[in-house]
Amino acid sequence: MRFTKIVFWIAGIWGILVLTPLYFLFDQIGRQDPPPITHPGFYYGFVGVGLAWQITFLIIATNPVRFRPLMIACVVEKFGYAGTLGVLYLQHRLHSSDLTFAAVDGLLGALFVVSFLKTRD
């Protein structure tokens, strides 16, 4: 149980630290990595949904056994993002430096699977 709590606390805090600054970097991202973002609703929507998931991770950390079913959705969220970045890289639509985020999410997804297995009855 301690392992699972630590994993979800780390995932939630990490995600908040990484995603929150995106609210303030909209224009800078367009300048540093052209072309500029043309659909701010998608951009800010992604950031908002991403932050909501980080809160979910923190909630799971408070009582992993109670919230165990939510871990399945958390695994899908992590592997979905990591997989998407991997595909974009293979299509030459993503910088190799962005694979760092895919690696972190892939690792967290794997730790979520382990957490799910460790919390079964």
Could you tell me the pTM of the whole model?
A: 0.92
Residue 34: per-residue pLDDT: 86
Find out whether the peptide bond into 36 is cis, omega within 30 degrees of 0.
no
Residue 7 neighbours by CB under 8 Å, 6+ apart:
61, 108, 111, 112, 114, 115
What band does 121 get if pLDDT is binned at 50, 70 and 90?
confident
- What does the pLDDT look like over 21-80, one tens digit per residue? 999 999 999 898 888 999 999 999 999 999 999 999 999 999 999 999 999 999 999 999
pLDDT band at 8 (very low <50, low <70, confident <90, very high): very high
Q: Terminal CA-to-CA distance of the chain, rounded, Å?
A: 11
Which element (helix H / strand E) includes 114? helix 99-118
Query: pLDDT of 105-114, one tens digit each?
Result: 999 999 999 9
Q: What is the mean pLDDT of residues 85-112?
A: 95
Q: Flag whether pLDDT at 116 surpasses 80.
A: yes
Number of domains in the chain: 1
Cβ(5)–Cβ(44) below 8 Å: no
